[in-house]
Amino acid sequence: MEKRIEISAGFNRPGQSAPRTGSKIRMITAIFGLFVAIIAATQLIARKDDESVRAARVTDCDRLAAHPSDTQKLAPGVVQAEVDIPTARKACQNAHDQSPNDGRILYQLGRTYFYNKDFEKGIAYFRLSDAAEYAQGQFVLGLILVQGNGAEPDTCTGGALWIKAARQRHIYSKIFLANNWLDGMFAECKFNITEQEIEGMVSAAEELADTSTQHEDVDTMRKNWESRKR
């Protein structure tokens, strides 16, 4: 009678010889290659999904009122002199009606008021953007308070807002915080932050730099930081 041969599932029965080492290596290599290919394909699909979601979130408010230096913007951005205030405000109000707690929209809506010298209403929207933890809103509100532009100067509150923004993916809050920290602006403020953390922000800003201007600003900050440490 012909002897039936059974195939083991990953182990050898008594009396059976083990597979050759070369075969094992080829099998492991093939499995590993398949595993890597699956991971790469999954990451590619995830990136495409993220891009699709991002594109779906872009509103007319983003197209008309995003700031060019906002690291988290969803559209290229418009400089102040080119913002069509009435049209942008209407678009941002519509977007706000749809998403009343969106920090990005709140910031951009605030821009349309602040640029029209309605500082009170603009700052009110910036404060709402801060409450929604949107970094650009926090950064701009901090800048207003540090400079006293449309509000009473408050260096420590402004610096605290920069810290909150700098702990997110936002390039200019990291730059302004580091530069003004070096200048001693916050010497009297009791901030829960160390120079080591700020130095880490300097490195993070280098990774976020995208335009030639941003690269120049980051290079200047890095040189200032390194000269201080000497």
Measured CA to CA, the distance from residue 115 to residue 117 in angstroms comes to: 5
Tens digit of each residue's pLDDT (9 = 90 or more) over 123-156 = 999 999 999 999 999 999 999 999 999 899 999 9
State the pLDDT confidence band at 224, using cuts at 50, 70 and 90: confident
Within 13 Å of residue 99, how many CA atoms lie on the same side as its CB?
Answer: 17
User: 10 versus 110: which is more confidently predicted?
Assistant: 110
Q: What is the mean pLDDT of residues 170-196?
A: 94
- Does CATH number 1.25.40.10 belong to domain 53-132? yes
User: Which residue, 102, 95, 88, 97, is CA-closest to 137?
Assistant: 102
Predicted local distance difference test score (pLDDT) of residue 53:
43
What are the domain boundaries of the chain? 53-132, 135-230
Tens digit of each residue's pLDDT (9 = 90 or more) over 33-52 = 665 556 655 555 544 444 44
Measured CA to CA, the distance from residue 54 to residue 193 in angstroms comes to: 33
